[in-house]
Structure 1
């Protein structure tokens, strides 16, 4: 699947980026002001004048960012690719760094106006602004991927045969459950037992059999039932949404809590879902 960066041109993305850059930069200067922003004096106290200057810098940064994103970018930035995004980000650091550099010199009676100072200043600005910039990008990237997953899951292309049954058999004579695959939701390992969760007319049913989850996984061969964790076996047909952040989680129909996907099973679960949905 081709990476989708269309969110980069969204109005909400541009506005969020401008706010993030301005607020982050102000708080950076406020927190680290003893290290160069306030005349290298760690004994200086905060004054209304100092807070006012920081506020002015934040407003100037926000205004410059809005101008850059909403007025300049549409004239030069059309097709969205990762390479173009990187190039635009570099330009943005130069543009914002130059604007803040001129404001800094204006407030200081142009005491540090030189090419060498400008280069050093822009590099310093870039090293600070890269954090809110990258953070905003990956936040929107995550939201975009999450929406794509939900769209995939809401467009079911595979149906489960109504007469297909699953046979769960434990070590005891009475440790047995035969259930339609359409009704089975998930299984959870609990010490020497496995708890089976399934649909029934009155709500959710639960059965406990003495066995291991690994043994049941080996016995049951179905493309719809996939182990996603050392403690969970889920019915992928009932997955309604995926949270694919740092910790992948599956949201199943009929249950309110998400099912965790461990890193060792992440790729296999993803591949099984894509195959079930007939996506290449």
Structure 2
């Protein structure tokens, strides 16, 4: 009997999300505001120099940068204190972000125009327009983040489907134990809340091997078994007999032609 080392296989599903919601909100809000102001001349923004002597390009960039900075502080720091979770909480949170961004934008706007527009009427108008403009990048950020999460979820899960696509099981790689087959059925064993569960599907081991050909979490050890090497706790090797101990009182047989493959796990 030989104990395996604590060396872990690389998890191919462990990726950072390509697009985190916090960064999307930070970048998209400022960029979209810049586009609206500079390219589309939104808010009836005046071209040419402001009273402070700054060009339209400089002012549009400043408004965009200030908005991104405001969202960055809110998303990366302030949000941790409130942790909005429900839909209503998120709506309230983003309403606060928009209001704060509008206040900062209003102050910067008045700086460029020597405080000649520092009135409630001007602020109300700006708040309404700013809110409308911010709704778009916030909505797009959620859609993009949702797509990224679904893609990452799909990549990080082992998804088993029956031949007729009626039965489907998604398992985290670290919870997958093994698959055994008999005739045209497979039985998938996995952990759920620390307990061994299984699901029977109409499929063949050959189909599963083909679908997961390059996946390191499914390794054939016997004509009737596919096993997750990461969950092997011990290897019992004596003469012409080899068995894989997966814990939970589970031992999987290894055919002679696969001895050498599993012996490498002892290195």
> What TM-score results when the alignment is normalised by the length of structure 2?
0.51
Partner of 2:21: 13
The answer as to 2:34 corresponding to 1:30 is no
Partner of 1:49: 55
Measure, in 2, the Cα distance between the counterparts of 1:78 and 1:56. 29
- 1:22-57 CA-partner distances (Å, limit 9, x unpaired): 111101111211771125x9xxxxx98221122222
Moved more, 149-158 or 77-86: 149-158
Partner of 2:100: 95
SS in structure 2 at match of 1:161: strand
Where does structure 2 lack aligned partners over 5 or more consecutive residues? 1-18, 160-169, 187-199, 215-267
Measure, in 1, the Cα distance between the counterparts of 2:25 and 2:209. 33
Measure, in 2, the Cα distance between the counterparts of 1:145 and 1:74. 24
1:102, CA displacement in angstroms? 1.2
The answer as to 2:141 corresponding to 1:136 is yes
Partner of 2:120: 115
The equivalent position to 1:146 in structure 2, one of 135, 151, 164, is: 151
Contact 2:22 2:76 in 1 (8 A): yes
The equivalent position to 2:80 in structure 1, one of 68, 74, 78, is: 74
SS in structure 2 at match of 1:140: helix
Measure, in 1, the Cα distance between the counterparts of 2:209 and 2:92. 39
Alpha-carbon spacing, 1:238–1:119, altered in 2? closer, same or farther (3 Å)? farther
Alpha-carbon spacing, 1:112–1:79, altered in 2? closer, same or farther (3 Å)? closer
> What TM-score results when the alignment is normalised by the length of structure 1?
0.49
Measure, in 2, the Cα distance between the counterparts of 1:124 and 1:101. 11
Contact 2:37 2:43 in 1 (8 A): no
Higher relative contact order (CA 8 A, sep 6+): 2
SS in structure 2 at match of 1:68: helix
Measure, in 1, the Cα distance between the counterparts of 2:38 and 2:74. 25
The equivalent position to 2:71 in structure 1, one of 61, 65, 82, is: 65
1:149, CA displacement in angstroms? 3.9
Give 1:140-179 correspondences, 5 Å limit: 140-150=145-155, 151=157, 153=159, 155=171, 159=179, 161-164=181-184
Alpha-carbon spacing, 1:239–1:120, altered in 2? closer, same or farther (3 Å)? farther
- 1:216-264 CA-partner distances (Å, limit 9, x unpaired): xxxxxx9657xxxxxxxxx9x7499xxxxxxxxxxx5459xxxxxxxxx
Tell me how large the CA RMSD over aligned residues is: 3.7
Partner of 1:206: none
